[in-house]
Amino acid sequence: MLSEKLLKALNDQITHEFASANLYLSMAAYCAAQGYEGFSSFFIMQAEEERFHAMKFFHFVNELGGQVVISGYPDPQQEFASVKDTFEKALAHEKFVTKLINDLLDLAESEKHRPTISFLQWFVDEQVEEEDSFNTIIDKFNIIGDTGPGVYMLDKELGQRTFSPEGSDQ
């Protein structure tokens, strides 16, 4: 049985995950406009992953007999200083999401709601991967700089990213 408070927190997370997808699509649009189709494709894959996260929460709430509430969210950031800046903003966003997941877990633990505690473990692990992924890319930008041949090569590399649910995302 889900408490009203936990149900609302889970529904809020669905909104955050869809908002994340929109933010990454906005980053994809910016990168494409700068001529970086690989980075754009990378962020489109990231947006797919965020929708997958949202739907994991959607199905979980359904399975527990709660009613999912779909809410709106503000417009995402649309302009960035550079492609490197998009990845820095993405990392900052993932740190924010990690905090949301941790807060949700704290709530589930305070209510001793074992199904939610168990369900959230996947997201705890996922957030470690997400932060590590963006950290690694930013490290590469720090080596190659913001422009030039290195960025062209990185664009090509990240353009190879694919996404399939429940598995490989890089």
* Closest chain position to ligand FEO (CB): 53
Distance between CA 166 and CA 44 in Å, rounded?
Answer: 17
**Residue 155 near ligand FEO by CB under 6 A:** no
**Residue 133 near ligand FEO by CB under 6 A:** no
**Residue 97 near ligand FEO by CB under 6 A:** yes
**Residue 130 near ligand FEO by CB under 6 A:** yes
Q: What is the DSSP letter of 147?
A: S
Question: Within positions 11 to 30, which residues make up the interface with ligand FEO, using CB under 6 A?
Answer: 17, 20
**Residue 48 near ligand FEO by CB under 6 A:** no
Which C-beta is closer to ligand FEO: that of 52 or that of 80? 52
What dihedral do alpha carbons 131, 133, 134, 139 form, nearest 10°? 120
Dihedral of CA 122/98/101/165: which sign? negative
**Residue 169 near ligand FEO by CB under 6 A:** no
CB of 30 to ligand FEO, least distance (A): 18
